[in-house]
């Protein structure tokens, strides 16, 4: 049996950061940055007829910070948080070249639901300029980015069991190309998470 995948290589990821957990009078802080390197051979988006290339990579930075504590002496992790993420990869080898996210969320906003999470997330996905230009050259309709705003509520139902509901508005919901009939999307999100 052949367990290999054509053109697949090794993916190496490393991350460094700083984390300070919430404590009475001490706000939760989490800073991190990382890089990845992939030896797999990818089709070049600058010239798809060229031989596959190795050396794909990415890098990211992210930060989350607690701004206010509901109950600093009892459950200091409860409160309001904010954060951001920025991830980038070479547009010549990746259809997504940049992803940016801003988030505002509350952990344990209600005394009766101390483990629940409310979140508002805005994200922007930038598509590879080479892939977009190739689509436009071929006469296709294409957009250079996708933007989404998502609001969710996640309830902690039992140990290891969570249920979520949310609403997401997406501007340019397709990957790169679209049709004249393509409109913005409004999605209802329902989820159940079980951790063992």
DSSP H or E segment with residue 134: helix 129-137
Nearest to 159 by CA among 185, 196, 121, 129: 196
- The domain spanning residue 107 has which CATH number? 2.40.160.180
The answer to the question of residue 42 being in a domain is no
Tokens found for residue 172? 């340019």
pLDDT at 37: 97
The answer to the question of residue 87 being in a domain is yes
Specify the pTM.
Answer: 0.90
The answer to the question of residue 105 being in a domain is yes
Tokens found for residue 29? 């802080």
The answer to the question of residue 30 being in a domain is no
Tokens found for residue 69? 């504590």
Give the start-end residues of each E strand in the chain: 11-20, 29-38, 56-71, 75-88, 96-107, 117-127, 141-142, 145-158, 161-171, 177-178, 185-194
The answer to the question of residue 134 being in a domain is yes
CA dist 35 and 61 (Å) reads 9
Are the CB atoms for 95 and 9 separated by under 8 Å?
Answer: no
Indicate the burial class of 170 (C-beta count within 10 angstroms; 0-12, 13-18, 19 or more).
Answer: middle
pLDDT in tens, the chain (196 residues): 777 888 999 999 999 999 999 999 899 999 999 999 999 999 999 988 888 989 899 999 999 999 999 988 889 999 999 999 999 999 999 999 999 999 999 999 999 999 999 999 999 999 999 999 999 999 999 999 999 999 999 999 999 999 999 999 999 999 999 999 999 999 999 999 999 8
Task: Give me the residues paired with residue 75 across strands.
Answer: 71
Residue 69 structural domain: 60-194
CA dist 114 and 108 (Å) reads 4
The answer to the question of residue 131 being in a domain is yes
The answer to the question of residue 162 being in a domain is yes
The answer to the question of residue 50 being in a domain is no
Q: Total structural domains in the chain?
A: 1
Nearest to 75 by CA among 112, 104, 103, 128: 112
pLDDT at 1: 76
pLDDT at 3: 79
pLDDT at 177: 94
């Amino acid at each position: 049996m052949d367990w290999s995948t054509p053109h697949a290589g090794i993916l190496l990821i490393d991350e460094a950061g700083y984390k300070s957990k919430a404590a009475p009078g001490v706000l939760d802080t989490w800073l991190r940055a990382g890089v990845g390197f992939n030896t797999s051979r990818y089709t070049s988006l600058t010239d798809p007829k060229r031989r596959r290339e190795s050396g794909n990579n990415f890098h990211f930075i992210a930060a989350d910070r607690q701004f206010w504590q509901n109950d600093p002496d009892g459950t200091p992790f409860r409160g309001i948080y904010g954060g951001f993420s920025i991830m980038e990869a070479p547009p010549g080898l990746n259809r997504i070249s940049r992803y940016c996210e801003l988030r505002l969320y509350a952990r344990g906003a209600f005394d009766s639901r101390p483990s629940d999470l409310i979140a508002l997330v805005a994200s922007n996905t930038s598509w590879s300029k080479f892939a977009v230009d190739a689509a436009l050259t071929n006469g296709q309709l294409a957009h250079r980015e996708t933007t989404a705003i998502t609001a969710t509520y996640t309830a902690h139902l039992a140990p290891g069991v969570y249920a979520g509901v949310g609403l997401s508005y997406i501007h340019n919901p397709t990957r790169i190309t679209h049709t004249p009939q393509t409109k913005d999307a409004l999605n209802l999100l329902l989820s159940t998470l079980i951790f063992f």
